[in-house]
Structure 1
């Protein structure tokens, strides 16, 4: 297999990276179409909230429970081949499901299985792509690239559902699924022809023996635990996801019960949030953020908190204020997430990034079912707006407080002094 060093790739990185980026963008759009098509099918065929909730949970399980374990594999295996295999597995699973639809044999459990396989593929693909980006893109451009990625996600979240609805009016469900297979091919082809840099493992650099998988897994946990700034970021990510995830699920009730409005206004909240996200990603892509990326991230977190508080405090006769709040929250999302992602890509050792990215992502996603389970009863007891106000204020205060935590503020500066971790004997406690 051909290989390339980070320095060789970065000498002319833009044409190669953006060809890969374009392929991944098409695949992401195809995935958005599949998500809409399957949710619509389950809604039309079953009308069951339990089935829809189960489908959502099934899609989360691999990321929650397998993420940290997959991260160690991402750092051991060839990341380019891993992305090709992940995209290929997702495409093959989708093709099988399209065949089941075409034959008229599809059952709900078939959809669950395919969702599980697609999620498993994504669990491998995301950390591999994220860690590879850190080696393909010069450090000074990482925040801008992260802004472009945030803009892409915002566009897909806005464009894919209505496009899926139009396509379902023109063709069958299997036709929509087939489109996703084609977009996956466009994602795979650049990866086949473009060499992607691979990290040099520290032990190999020092002439040591290759460590075992279980040693690598333990090293990932130890690496995060031994770095106070990184650990602080992990705690913040978990708390923010716990507090803000329910705001999306509670929005239909806020619009109907508090504002006394309907589906059109509910759609406007999603639209304004998406427009804000696109604008925030575009702003970050052009601006790049402050020189100290952590400052940009913390200001973004504060801005998200302000937007959520505005939404929760809006009186029943001032729905426009809630729309402004959602737009502000959407705008500040990329401002918070983009630089944070760039910090991790620029400061975490390249051969550790799969483990660190997967661990943080899994911990954050794991809060989703827990927060939804808590937010429902709490909102029923004290009011829907209370969760918005409390969550937004806590998010705002956490962003302000982080400015006074030296470990977090210096997270970009002290990575070189992070202790070098020697290979250790794996213990059962790693799996607990």
Structure 2
């Protein structure tokens, strides 16, 4: 059972900390979008805020991994939460003191992007330390479940709080969530990985991380394959509003239910990915899910009915989240713990760069043609992932430790 990993207090405390911090981030991010639209009525401003978030994350990802691999991962997460909470309190104070200024939201976006990039590198590396190789797939499944449940709750609560007590209160709650998350992180007791080459300079450590992946091209490509579902999800968020209004003639309710359907699929992946990998092989399951994703996305591109859109969105959530669970588990079982932070930051940097380029280019394509073409682009991305993974697997170039044993 996937919940068996929660028996150990060290992962249980991490899991609760992850839920709390993720819920706070989701609530404030959704609230910020609504707040900026209410105050400015400008889609351009919202787009700029999203771009600042991605750019800030991309810049930090260049050195976040090296930082994570040179210091204690738990301490990094703990203090990153404290610093983010302090930054949010300052931004909230600015809103209370001087009223609305769009620059404050841009500062919020930058803090969000930098914090997320550092959190991804440190948290993945910490999970790798907290769990045994056999437990990794269950741990990643639970993390995916918490992400989807958190987004459900954050979306609903953010709307209510924004309407009745305002965005400033949401920022205060997000700061409180970071501090509560830090309390649970501080309760984690485990044997931390000894820091290697502590005397080396930051730049030398960064070069060592690049060299580590350069000597393992199949591992690097597998990491790139792992970010394809993440980029596809971003494209989905860009395409969906226009698709709902034009291709299926829906309204805001249809849009909301479509987004919720994606979340349902993501939630199901936490329960289905590990059992499916147990019945089939790890490699076979990943190939099958990639194939189902490609077929589903192409079918949605030519769809014109709301019901099939809902079903298709459930499948998108299920396939994307399942691939993240399985491939991330493979990477955690393959990458040396001493280099996990740097490897993750490289892949996250590539992901953020692809998201930035894809969002800009896709907007132009959709304006000239139709939103349905966006799903064709998504299908093409997943097809690239399918081919790349198949080639790696067929040539037996995947890391020897990649096949992860799954417990019942």
Both structures adopt the same fold (TM-score exceeding 0.5): yes
- Partner residue, 1:391: 378
Q: Which has the larger radius of gyration?
A: 1
Partner of 1:141: 135
Contact 2:24/2:177, CA 8 A, preserved across alignment? yes
Kindly state the Cα deviation for residue 248 of structure 1 after the two structures are TM-superposed: 2.0
In 2, Cα distance between the equivalents of 1:78 and 1:242?
A: 29
Question: Does residue 1:223 correspond to 2:217, yes or no?
Answer: no
Structure 1 counterpart of 2:359, from 372, 392, 397:
372
CA distance in 2, matches of 1:226, 1:165: 48
Is residue 263 of structure 1 aligned with residue 252 of structure 2?
Answer: yes
* Correspondence for 1:186 among 180, 190, 194: 180
**Whole-Å separation in 2 of the counterparts to 1:378 and 1:394:** 16
Q: In 2, distance between residues paired with 1:304 and 1:344?
A: 21
Cα RMSD, aligned residues only: 2.6
Counterpart in the other structure of 2:406: none
1:55 pairs with one of 49, 60, 74: 49
Aligned partner (choices 20, 31, 39) of residue 37 of structure 1: 31
CA–CA separation in structure 2 for the residues paired with 1:88 and 1:193: 15
Match among 342, 346, 350 for residue 363 of structure 1? 350
Write the distance in 1 (CA, Å) between the matches of 2:270 and 2:395. 23
1:227 Cα deviation after fit? 1.0
Whole-angstrom CA distance in 2 between matches of 1:356 and 1:174:
37
**Would you say the 8 A contact 1:307–1:329 is kept in 2?**
yes
Matches within 5 A, 1:82-231: 82-201=76-195, 210-231=199-220
The CA deviation at 1:106 is: 3.9
Partners of 1:92 and 1:288 in 2: CA distance: 42
How high is the TM-score relative to the length of structure 1?
A: 0.85
In structure 2, what is the Cα distance between the partners aligned to 1:368 and 1:397?
16
Structure 2: how far apart are the matches of 1:408 and 1:126? 30
On the 8 A contact 2:231/2:354 being kept in 1, the answer is yes
Deviation at 1:203, TM superposition (A): 5.0
1:131/1:354 contact within 8 Å kept? yes
**Number of residue pairs matched?**
399
Shift of 1:285: 5.7
Shift of 1:29: 0.6
Instruction: Classify 1:83/1:235 alpha carbon distance in 2 versus 1 (closer, same or farther; 3 Å).
Output: closer
In the TM superposition, residue 407 of structure 1 has moved relative to its aligned partner by 7.4
SS of alignment partner, residue 413 of structure 1 = coil
Change (3 A) 1:353 1:84: same
Given that residues 143 and 289 in structure 1 are in contact (C-alpha distance below 8 angstroms), is that contact kept between their aligned partners in structure 2? Answer: no
- Specify the alignment match of 1:425 in structure 2: none
1:300 matched to 2:289: yes
- Kindly provide the CA deviation profile for residues 78-120 of structure 1, in whole angstroms up to 9, marking residues without a partner as x: 2122111100011111112222233343411122123212322
How far apart are the structure 2 equivalents of 1:22 and 1:170?
28
- Is the counterpart of residue 324 in structure 1 residue 311 in structure 2? yes
**Per-residue deviation, 1:350:** 0.6
Q: 1:350 aligns with which of 333, 337, 342?
A: 337
Larger mean CA deviation between 143-152 and 11-20 belongs to 11-20
Aligned residue for 1:383, secondary structure, equals coil
On the 8 A contact 1:305/1:392 being kept in 2, the answer is yes
Query: Which residue matches 2:60?
Result: 66
Structure 2: gaps of 5 or more residues: 403-408
SS in 2 for 1:255: helix
Q: Output one character per residue of 1:296-324: Cα deviation in whole Å (capped at 9) or x when no partner.
A: 3333332322332221121x2x3222221
Report the alpha carbon displacement of residue 174 of structure 1 after superposing the two structures with TM: 2.1
SS in 2 for 1:91: helix
Verify the 8 A CA contact 1:309 1:325 in the aligned structure 2: no
Q: Deviations over 1:32-67 (max 9, x none)?
A: 111122211111101111111111111112321220
1:239 and 1:276 mapped to 2: Cα distance? 17
Partners of 1:409 and 1:88 lie apart in 2 by 44
Secondary structure of the 2:8 match is helix
Aligned-partner Cα distance in 2 for 1:377–1:402: 30
2:243 is the counterpart of 1:254: yes
TM-score normalised according to structure 2 size: 0.89
Separation of aligned partners in 2, 1:235 and 1:118: 23
SS in 2 for 1:145: helix
Return the offset for 1:404.
Answer: 3.5
The residue aligned with 1:418 is none
Distance 2:228 2:21 in 1: 30
Q: Deviations over 1:363-404 (max 9, x none)?
A: 112111201222122233343212312431552464156324
